[in-house]
């Protein structure tokens, strides 16, 4: 098999890259380890920066999102009983779109089908070869058959546990990581959302987040110790803990019901450098992970794809390799800013097990400053709705 760009991983980053490149007349093959059903069963992100929304529009996959998604012009932060609304619209003239990652991925699969894309599922033994030459290739197994895909460039969009990052020699890779001493227990429930906008709730009992998917589908999270298992959390226990962390003024609004999904995700910040090595470019979770507090994971994947698609299009359409040469550095600079924001928002809102009385005072002062300073709110709004490219 032969293509111009081999894409490892058929999650949102890989599919979006494939769609943008195909729209520009560049051939792609996507290799995905899982089945399509499996990829579409993963419940993940829910909030998109407007830059991500615009990129999906450019890719021609935004019709359903504009019909079924919910633009939000603000969000709430609370600290015990204090509630603060961050007004994106007035502070930075921007907004976000609430539309599930699962739906984005579904829209991308449908668009790829319509474009006649080659997306191979259930592939295994993916190995990237000759990355430092102008004719790299990928070997893999599909339906018991050993196959070889020749290409000009490889995009590693295979998530945190993929093979792409590991194909860069350890002597070249630098990795920076912070593992947080807690996770998020998330549930989906067919109940009306607590509020019209998201609530990031900090309290003496820990953090909670009230998010949503649609008018009758809520997505709620609570901070839990890393040692907890999903089986430890009955629905009743979840609702008690969640309610307890909300400002008392809004507790009465909460509608509870059975959970239809429940999972725990550990929180970490991770970035590896370089994001590019020879003919391999990494995109999305393959190169970096952020804690979900700032809602940046999917948005960073989209941001990388934006830089890489433009660079590859310049390379193939205008024979201009300069943007491709600087892809790693360009993408990484924006990644680091979003990592800083996600880390800061995590520190602002969570209870860490080892917090001293001083740490607690400073965290409370951070919230107080945010509630009193329009400049601090502008900074939060600017970062949350998405920094420029
Ligand atoms: P993905 O989605 O992990 O896709 C990678 C794909 O590669 C495949 N793969 C391989 N394929 C071939 N060969 C191999 N050897 C392979 N190894 C892996 C995998 O099967 C998979 O299909 O990475 P991608 O595309 O970079 O997308 C990143 C996003 O999925 C991720 O950043 C977000 O979900 C993070 N995230 C959030 N991001 C936001 O922007 N806003 C949010 O509100 C938000 N909330 C969240 C989140 C992530 C969460 N969890 C569970 C980690 C909430 C949660 C709870
Ligand atoms: C979600 O709806 O899943 C969600 C929203 C905002 C976040 C994280 C997750 O910061």
Give the pair of three-digit tokens for residue 374: 């329009």
What percent of the chain is predicted at pLDDT more than 70? 100
Characterise 34 by phi-psi region: left (phi > 0), alpha (psi -120 to 50), beta (else). beta
42 confidence band (pLDDT: 50, 70, 90) = confident
Return d(Cα 130, Cα 278) in angstroms, integer.
9
Say yes or no: 279 and 261 in one domain.
no
319 and 272, same domain (yes or no): yes
Q: How much is the average pLDDT of 76-95?
A: 98
Mark whether 176 is an active-site residue: no
pLDDT, tens digit, 9 for 90 and up, residues 173-189: 999 999 999 999 999 99
Which of 12, 296, 327, 350 is the catalytic position?
296
335 and 199 in a common domain:
no
- For residue 201, is the peptide bond before it cis, meaning its omega torsion is within 30 degrees of 0? no
312 pLDDT above the threshold of 90: yes
Q: How far is the CA of 11 from the centre of ligand 1 (A)?
A: 6
248 and 198 together in one domain: yes
- The mean per-residue pLDDT over the stretch 102-116 comes to 97
Q: How confident is the model at residue 44 (pLDDT cuts 50, 70, 90)?
A: confident
Residue nearest to ligand 2 atom 6, measured at CA:
295
Q: 328: domain range?
A: 5-68+97-177+268-345
CATH of the domain at 43: 3.50.50.60
Are residues 156 and 189 located together in one domain of the fold? no
Nearest to 142 by CA among 129, 157, 126, 164: 126
Which residue in 76, 99, 109, 200 is the catalytic one?
200
Same domain, 331 and 196: no
The ligand minimizing its distance to the Cα of 345 is: 2
* Pocket flag, ligand 1, residue 299 (CB < 6 Å): yes
Q: Is residue 275 part of a domain?
A: yes
pLDDT at 56 over 90: yes
The CA 244 to ligand 1 mean position distance, Å, reads: 30
Q: Check if 386 has its Cβ closer than 6 Å to any atom of ligand 2.
A: no
Residue 227, pLDDT above cutoff 90: yes
| Residue with token string 């040692």 | 227
Give the nearest ligand 2 atom to 200 CA.
Answer: 10
Q: How confident is the model at residue 47 (pLDDT cuts 50, 70, 90)?
A: very high
CA dihedral of 369, 372, 374, 376, whole degrees rounded to 10: 10
Per-residue pLDDT band for 191 (boundaries 50, 70, 90) equals: very high
Cα of 295 from ligand 2 centre, angstroms: 6
Q: What percent of the chain has pLDDT over 90?
A: 98
Average pLDDT for the chain = 97
Domain-located, residue 82: no
Mean pLDDT value of segment 209-224: 96
What's the total number of domains in the chain?
2
Q: Is 213 in the pocket of ligand 2 (CB under 6 A)?
A: no
For residue 343, the CA-to-ligand 1 centroid distance in Å is 18
In a domain? residue 87: no
Is the residue at 75 inside a domain?
no
**Residue 8 belongs to what H/E stretch?**
strand 5-8
* 43 band by pLDDT with thresholds 50, 70 and 90: confident
Burial 104-117 (b: 16+ CB within 10 A, else e): bbbbbbebbeeeeb
Closest ligand 2 atom, residue 293 Cα: 10
**pLDDT classification of 83: cutoffs 50, 70, 90:** very high
Higher pLDDT, 46 or 254: 254
Position 77 pLDDT exceeds 90: yes
Do 191 and 164 share a domain, yes or no?
A: no
Residue 127 predicted with pLDDT over 90: yes
Give the residue, by CA position, lying nearest to ligand 2 atom 4.
46
Shortest-distance ligand to the CA of residue 263? 1
Residue 202 has pLDDT above 90, yes or no: yes
pLDDT for position 45: 84
Residue 63's pLDDT is what? 97
């Amino acid at each position: 098999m032969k293509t111009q760009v081999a894409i490892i991983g058929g999650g949102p980053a890989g599919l979006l890259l494939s769609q943008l490149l195909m729209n520009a007349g560049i051939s792609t093959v996507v290799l995905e380890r899982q089945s399509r059903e499996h990829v579409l069963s993963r419940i993940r992100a829910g909030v998109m920066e407007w830059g991500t929304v615009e990129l999906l529009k450019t890719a021609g996959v935004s019709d359903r999102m504009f019909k079924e998604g919910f633009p939000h012009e603000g969000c709430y932060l609370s600290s015990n009983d204090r509630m603060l609304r961050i007004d994106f619209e007035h502070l930075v003239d921007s907004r976000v779109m609430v539309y599930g990652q699962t739906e984005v991925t579904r829209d991308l699969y449908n668009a790829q089908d319509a474009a006649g894309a080659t997306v191979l599922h259930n592939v295994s033994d993916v190995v990237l070869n000759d990355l430092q030459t102008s004719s790299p290739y990928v070997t893999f197994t599909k339906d018991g058959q050993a196959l070889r895909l020749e290409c000009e460039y490889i995009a590693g969009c295979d998530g945190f546990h993929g093979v792409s990052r590991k194909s860069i020699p350890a002597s070249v890779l630098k990795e920076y990581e912070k593992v947080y001493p807690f996770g998020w227990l998330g549930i989906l429930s067919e109940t009306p959302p607590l509020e019209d906008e998201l609530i990031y709730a900090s309290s003496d009992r820990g953090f909670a987040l009230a998010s949503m998917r649609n008018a009758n589908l809520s997505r709620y999270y609570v901070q839990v110790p890393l040692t907890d298992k999903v089986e430890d959390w009955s629905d009743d226990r979840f609702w008690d803990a969640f309610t307890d962390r909300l400002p008392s003024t809004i507790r009465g609004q909460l509608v509870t019901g059975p959970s239809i999904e429940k999972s725990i995700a550990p929180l970490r910040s991770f970035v590896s450098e370089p994001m590019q090595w020879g003919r391999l470019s990494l995109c999305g979770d393959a190169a970096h992970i952020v804690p979900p507090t700032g809602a940046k994971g999917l948005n960073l994947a989209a941001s990388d794809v934006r830089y890489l698609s433009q660079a590859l299009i310049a390379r193939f359409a205008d024979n201009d390799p300069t943007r491709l040469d600087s892809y790693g550095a360009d993408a990484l600079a924006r990644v680091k800013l979003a990592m800083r924001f996600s880390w800061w928002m995590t520190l602002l809102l969570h209870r860490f097990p080892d917090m001293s009385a001083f740490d607690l005072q400073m965290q409370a002062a951070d919230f107080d400053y945010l509630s009193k300073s329009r400049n601090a709110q502008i900074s939060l709004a600017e970062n949350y709705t998405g920094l420029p490219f």
